[in-house]
Amino acid sequence: MGREPLETALESPVLQSAFSRPLLDWYAANRRKLPWRDGKDPYAVFVSEVMLQQTQVRAVLPYYARWMRRFPTVEALARASEEEVLKEWEGLGYYRRARLLHAAARMVASEFGGRFPSDPEEIASLPGVGPYTLAAVASIAFGKALAAVDGNVIRVVTRWFGIRGVPSRRPARPKILEAVQRLLPSEAPGDFNQAVMELGATVCLPRRPCCLLCPIRKGCVASTKGIQSELPEAAPSKAAVRQFEYAGLVMREGKVLLCRRGDGGRMERLWQFPSVILAKESKRWTGRWKARYGEMKGAELLAVLNYSVTHYRIRLEIYRIEGFQRYKLPSARWTPIAEAPKLAFTAAHRKLADRFLVLT
């Protein structure tokens, strides 16, 4: 069956028995115990699905536990300030997810009486809810027959059917979506969606898939032909962009000068040390720094940190600035060092803050 053309395979009367049923049986016996699977609380499912976007389960687990202790209900999240939300999210990355999650909670509180909506159209109206999140929440929490297609699902389906092409583009994309929707059983669609994701996360791995452990290997085109490493086909990656960041540690009378990033762009509205970013490494960074923040005397190199954000490769140098006379940006402020741990920093600057803002 797996060797048939996709259109023929989708019309096969044994599709459910070859794929969905053995997969569901495998999932029932092998699924990981994850905290958001303990029940069908739509808020808990929603939080987990937002956190899991572009982030692996093992990284999400401690954040999810802290988040649910701090914001156990959608109403608790709706009442929180943005600063509180960003602080709890600090370090998880892609902060736009946290802001949209917060906005969705406020919408549930204001327009749905604090009760998470069960209607797919109403779920889709929440900020930040796209096709995948809609299908995941609606199927898992409310039993709606919507197929949730994430990276794990794409990998399983493209290999099983032998679908060629970049999954995010035509003609592969509509083929994948049709295939998953056809496979979706009318009963327990939430379990099915989670089962395919689980298979992709634990067995049908990007590299070195464990095909001998796969419950649906007999029908898999990629396994039969030995082309697992070729599927799914990857889109051309963006070339890495080098950047050089120069930050200043400026302190006086128990306070430190911090800046809040503006709206839009990477890591909006997070806190950091005053800094400038250049396209090329330059000893003349002090001129750019002075022009932006004000006069300074002396700059002692304290540390160098290399980090990446998407396709940017950044070298960050932090200097102790002495003799600082004034600052110009409205986003900059003198913050008591004791209050700095309460602020949500960018990940790189949090490492610097933890190292150099030592309370004495």
**Residue 217: pLDDT band with limits 50, 70, 90:** very high
Mean pLDDT of the chain: 91
C-alpha 159/C-alpha 140 separation (Å) is: 25
**Residue 283: pLDDT band with limits 50, 70, 90:** confident
- The predicted pLDDT at position 18 comes to 86
* Residue 70: φ, ψ to 5°: -80, -40
- The predicted pLDDT at position 103 comes to 98
Q: Which fold has domain 6-230?
A: Endonuclease III; domain 1 (1.10.340)
By C-alpha distance, which of 246, 244, 259 is closest to 312?
244
Element (H, E) at 307: strand 297-309
By C-alpha distance, which of 292, 33, 18, 55 is closest to 152?
55
Residue 216 CB partners (closer than 8 Å, separation 6+): 18, 19, 22, 23, 160, 199
CA distances from 307 to 55, 91, 311 (A): 17, 13, 11
Range list for CATH 1.10.340.30 in the chain: 6-230
Is the per-residue pLDDT at 176 higher than 60?
A: yes
- The predicted pLDDT at position 6 comes to 65
| Percentage of the chain modeled with pLDDT above 70 | 94
Q: What is the dihedral of CA 58, 61, 63, 65, to 10 degrees?
A: -170
- The predicted pLDDT at position 16 comes to 67
- The predicted pLDDT at position 1 comes to 43
C-alpha 162/C-alpha 49 separation (Å) is: 28
What secondary structure letter does DSSP report for 209? -
- The predicted pLDDT at position 11 comes to 59
Segment 161-185 mean pLDDT: 92
Which has more pLDDT, 329 or 223? 223
What secondary structure letter does DSSP report for 2? T
Is 111 one of the annotated active-site residues of the chain?
A: no
Residue 134 CB partners (closer than 8 Å, separation 6+): 120, 123, 124, 146
**Residue 9: pLDDT band with limits 50, 70, 90:** low
- The predicted pLDDT at position 297 comes to 81
Phi-psi group of 280: left, alpha or beta (phi > 0 → left; psi -120 to 50 → alpha; rest → beta): beta
pLDDT tens-digit series, residues 36-81:
997 889 999 999 999 999 899 999 999 999 999 999 999 999 999 9
Range list for CATH 3.90.79.10 in the chain: 241-356
Q: What one-letter code names the amino acid at 298?
A: G
Q: Quote the tokens at residue 349.
A: 């600057």
Q: Quote the tokens at residue 128.
A: 């930040």
Q: Give the pTM.
A: 0.87
Is the per-residue pLDDT at 157 higher than 90?
A: yes
Segment 291-317 mean pLDDT: 91
Which has more pLDDT, 148 or 38? 148
pLDDT tens-digit series, residues 81-124:
999 999 999 999 889 999 999 999 999 999 999 999 999 999 99
Q: Quote the tokens at residue 271.
A: 């806190």
Q: Quote the tokens at residue 288.
A: 């750019």
Q: Which member of 7, 49, 121, 230 is catalytic?
A: 49
Phi-psi group of 113: left, alpha or beta (phi > 0 → left; psi -120 to 50 → alpha; rest → beta): left
- The predicted pLDDT at position 5 comes to 54
CATH of 241-356, one of 2.30.38.10, 3.30.2020.10, 3.40.50.720, 3.90.79.10: 3.90.79.10
